[in-house]
Structure 1
Amino acid sequence: MAPSIAEVPTPEIVVPVKVNPGTTEAKPKVRRIIDEEGGKTTASYPEYLPTWDHGQKYAPLQPFTHIDPGKDADPSFKDLLTEGSKIQNLTPGIGSEVTGAQLSKLTSAGKDQLALLVAQRKVVAFRDQDFADLPIHEALDFGGYFGRHHIHPTSGAPEGYPEIHLVYRNNNAWENDQYLAEKNSSVSWHSDVTYEQQPPGTTFLYLLEAPEVGGDTVFVDQVQAYKRLSPAIKERLHGLKAVHSGFEQAEFSLKRGGVVRREPVKNEHPIVRTHPVTGEKALFVNGGFTRSIVGLKKEESDALLGFLLAHVGRGIDYQTRIRWAPKTLVVWDNRVTAHSAVIDWATGERRHLARITPQAERPYETPYVPEDESQS
C-alpha cells in the first residue's frame, strides 16, 4: 500500500547529544508508535506496531535471478484447493475469494499453485487465515518462497523485522483532515515500489485490525485495461518506456522527519509488460510512481500518461473491491494490477495491516502482435 498514506504524519524530533568533547551530533533515534501512545496500546497485535529506526541504512539493491513459482504449477490446483475449500469469483475477470484453505500449511506444490491462481485471477482474498497469529519470522519464511524480500525505504516496520511493510492509520479527525486537505477523495491508484529495477510480483497483505465498516481496498486489472485499447494505441505503446521514481517518496518522508533506509532510485520500465507465467500483456504505469515517458516531450508525455492513468482509474468494469474481515489475507500480483485504499471511515477505529513484498523479475515486453494474427 502507499507508504505516504499509511504512516502517521507526526514529525520526528532528533535530540543532539554529546559524543566527543566540544562536539555534538544527532543520535539516531527509533520512533515507536507504542511510545507515542504512552507505552500502552489497545492494538490487537502490538508486536506489529510501526517503528522507524533512523539508524537503519541499506546498500543499493543488486540484481538477482527470479523464477516465478507459478511457471510449472499444476493447473488443477489440487494441492491448494483441497477438499472442503471453496473458491468464488468476485467479478468475471478479476478477484476471487477462497474459504477452507490454510495457506500457512501449504506444501511447495501448493505454493506454486497459489502463484498460478493469483497470476490468473490477479487478486485473491483468503479468509480465516492464521498469518497474524504466527511468529513474524514464520510469515516471512512463507513469503520468501515467492521471491527476495523487499525492504521498504521509508515505511514503518515491526521492530526487528524491516522486511514487513506496515499499513497503519488511526483515522483521527486531525489526521483525516490533513490527508484530505488538498484532495477531493482518497483514491490513489498505484502498484507497489515500481521504481525498483525488479518490482514486486506475488504480494501478501494480512489484516491485523480494521474498522467494522470501511477501509476497503480496490484493485484494477491492468491486463484488461490494455485489452480495451484500440489496436493503433496498443501498437504505439509497444517499445515505449516510462520512468518510475522513488525520489519523491524519499523527499516526502524526510520532510516529515521520517526515515530513508536506502538511497532513492529511478528506473525505466516498458509501458506494456508481459507476465512470465500467463503470457498476458498488461499496462505497467501507475499514478504513484510513474513520472514520464522516455523520448517524448513533456507536453506529449503528460498527455499520453494522463490518458493511460485516467483509463485505468475509471475502468469500473475491470475493478474489484476487497472488504477486509478478521483473519483475511489478500494475495495479488503487483505486475498486472494497481490498487488503492479507501479512506472512508471516521469512527476512530484503527486500520492496521502487514505486507510481505517478494520482488520478481525485471519488467520486460514481448513484441506486439495484431489481434487478427494472434487469433489465427
Structure 2
Amino acid sequence: MSTTVTSSVAGVTEQVASLKLRPSEEAKPEEKKQEEYKYAHLLPHFSAEHYPPLTPYEHVDPGHRALSLPDPRAFLESVTSVEELTPRLGTEVIGLNLAELDNSGRDQLALEVARRGVMVFRDQEDFIDRGPEFYRQWGSYFGRLHIHPTSGHPVGYPEVHLVYRDLNSTFNFEYDDAVTPTVWHSDVSYELQPPGLTTFFLLAQPKSGGDTIFTSQVSTLSRLSPQFVAFLRTLKAVHSGIEQADFSRSGRRGGIVRRDPVEHVHPVVRRHPVTGEEALYVNRQFTRRIVGLKREESETILKFLYDHIDRSQDNQVRLKWRPNTVVLWDNRVTAHSAIIDFKETGEARHGARITPQAERPIPALEGLEL
C-alpha cells in the first residue's frame, strides 16, 4: 500500500510523494495513522511571496572565538568515535548530540568544520526531530540565515531549504539533459555573501544510492603549480543565479522565483577568515566567466579548473547516508553534489538544509579589487 502526501504549490494541490508503507500487505485501518509519513510537515511548500534584494551585513565567524581556547576540540572529548574519512577531507563522529551543544561547543564545531571541510554526525534523531523552529535557532548562531529564492520550504519556515525527489516528482535544481546529473557546486555562490557553515540532513532516503560527494577546494588548489596558483590569485569571476531562476520560471521545481536573480564577482582564490587557508572558488553550476579575459581564455581556464575538480578523487569523500545523519560543511572551502542514481527505484530522497551566510569572499591576493 502507499500513502499520498500533498503540498500546496502556488495554491494548487499536487502529489509530491508516494511513500511505501508495506511492500506486500495492506495496512489495517487502526495502523494507518501511525504509518503516516513522520516528516510530512517538512515537505516542500512554494509560497508566491516576493522578497526584496539581500542587503550586506557584518558577519563574525564563531570559529574565531574557539581559536583562543586552550583546547578548541574539547567538544569531542566524550564522544564514542572520531574517524577521519580521508586525510584531506571529512570526519565522522559518533556519540555526540549536536542539539545539546552549548555556545562554546558550537564555536569549536565551527572551527573544526572549517579545518576538516566536512563533518558527519551519526545518530542525530534528537536534532532532526526538534523541528524547524529549532533549525532556525541553530543556524542563526552561525550567521544570518539565507532564504533561497526558488526552492521549497516547510510552511512558515522559508529559512529551511528543502530538496525532494521521488519516482514521479522532483523539486530540485537538476540538469536532465546531460549524460550525468552530478554537478559540483558551492551553494548559492552567486550571492554577495555566500554561505559558510552549512547543516544538512535527510528525512527520507533510498535504501541504496542518493549519496553525497564532497571535494576540498583547499586541496584542489594545492595540487596546482605555484606559478599557476599565483596567476589564479589575480583573477575574479562572475557567479550568476540567473540560470537557476530561469529553471524555475520555466515551470520546474515549483515554478516560483521569490527574489530577482543576482550576479556577483568573487575572487577565483579566496582566503578563509579563521584558518587563513586558501581555496579555489569556482564551480560549474554558478560560475560563468572570468572578468577581464576574452571569452576563449575564460572558457579554457574554467574548463580546466572544472575538470580538475571533477577528476581529483584524491581530494574527495563520498558520504553514504544512514538514517538520522547530520552533515556540516564549510561552503567556503568545499564543493559538493548529490548522486542521483536512485530515480528508477521509486523511493523518496527528502532533505533539509540550514544555510547561514558568511562574509563576502576574501581574496587570497591582498589588494585585489572586486
TM-score, normalised with respect to structure 2: 0.86
Paired residue for 2:80?
85
Write the distance in 2 (CA, Å) between the matches of 1:209 and 1:250: 26
C-alpha contact 2:79 2:93 (8 A) present in aligned 1: no
The CA distance in 1 between the partners of 2:323 and 2:119, in whole Å, is 16
1:59 aligns with 52
Among 185, 195, 204, the alignment partner of 1:209 is: 204
1:350 to 344, 348, 351: 348
Q: Which residue identity does 1:132 align to in structure 2?
A: I
Q: Deviations over 1:129-156 (max 9, x none)?
A: 1222113101210111000000000001
Q: Are 1:46 and 2:4 matched, yes or no?
A: no
Contact residue 271 and residue 277 of structure 2 kept, 8 A: yes
- The structure-2 alpha-carbon separation of the partners of 1:328 and 1:35, relative to structure 1 and needing over 3 Å to count, comes to closer
Shift of 1:325: 0.7
Task: Give the AA of the match of 2:154.
Answer: P
CA distance in 1, matches of 2:87, 2:136: 32
Pairwise CA distance, 1:225: 0.5
Distance 1:306 1:152, change over 3 A: same
Tell me how far 1:57 sits from its aligned partner. Answer: 1.0
Q: Secondary structure at the residue paired with 2:63?
A: coil
Equivalent residue of 2:309, what SS?
Answer: helix
**Greater Cα shift, 253-262 or 280-289:** 253-262
Q: CA deviation at 1:31?
A: 4.8
Equivalent residue letter for 1:261: R
Secondary structure of the 1:153 match is: coil
Q: How many Å apart are 1:189 and its aligned residue?
A: 0.5
Verify the 8 A CA contact 2:272 2:278 in the aligned structure 1. Answer: yes
2:256 is aligned with 1:259: yes
Hey, what's the Cα distance between the residues in 1 that align with 2:83 and 2:347?
Answer: 29
The code of the aligned residue for 2:60 comes to: I
After TM superposition, the structure 1 = structure 2 runs for residues 157-172 of structure 1, keeping only pairs within 5 Å, are 157-172=153-168
SS at match of 2:139: helix
Task: Identify if the C-alpha distance between structure 1 residues 161 and 31 changes in structure 2 by more than 3 Å, giving closer, same or farther.
Answer: farther
Q: How many residues align?
A: 338
Deviations 1:188-232, CA, capped at 9 Å, x for gaps: 111100000000000000120101111000000000011111111
Q: 2:319 aligns with which of 299, 317, 322?
A: 322
Separation in 2, partners of 1:238, 1:78: 32
Q: Note the residue ranges of structure 2 that are not aligned, 5 or more in a row.
A: 1-6, 20-32
SS in 1 for 2:83: strand
Query: Could you tell me which residue of structure 1 aligns to residue 90 of structure 2?
Result: 95
Say which SS state the counterpart of residue 307 (structure 1) adopts: helix
Aligned equivalents of 1:161, 1:151: Cα separation in 2? 9
Identical aligned residues as a percent: 51
RMSD: 2.3
Q: What is the CA-CA distance between 1:182 and the residue it aligns to?
A: 2.2
For 1:1-376, what aligned pairs fall within 5 Å after superposition?
A: 29-31=10-12, 43-54=37-48, 56-73=49-66, 74=69, 76-129=71-124, 130-172=126-168, 182-256=177-251, 258-345=255-342, 346-367=344-365
Would the aligned equivalents of 2:270 and 2:280 in 1 still touch at CA under 8 Å?
Answer: yes
User: What amino acid is the match of 1:363?
Assistant: P
| 1:216/1:324 contact within 8 Å kept | yes
- For 2:75, what is the secondary structure of its paired residue? coil
CA distance in 2, matches of 1:160, 1:60: 20
AA at the equivalent of 1:107: D
The one-letter code of the counterpart of 2:55 is Q
CA shift, 1:75, in A, is: 6.8
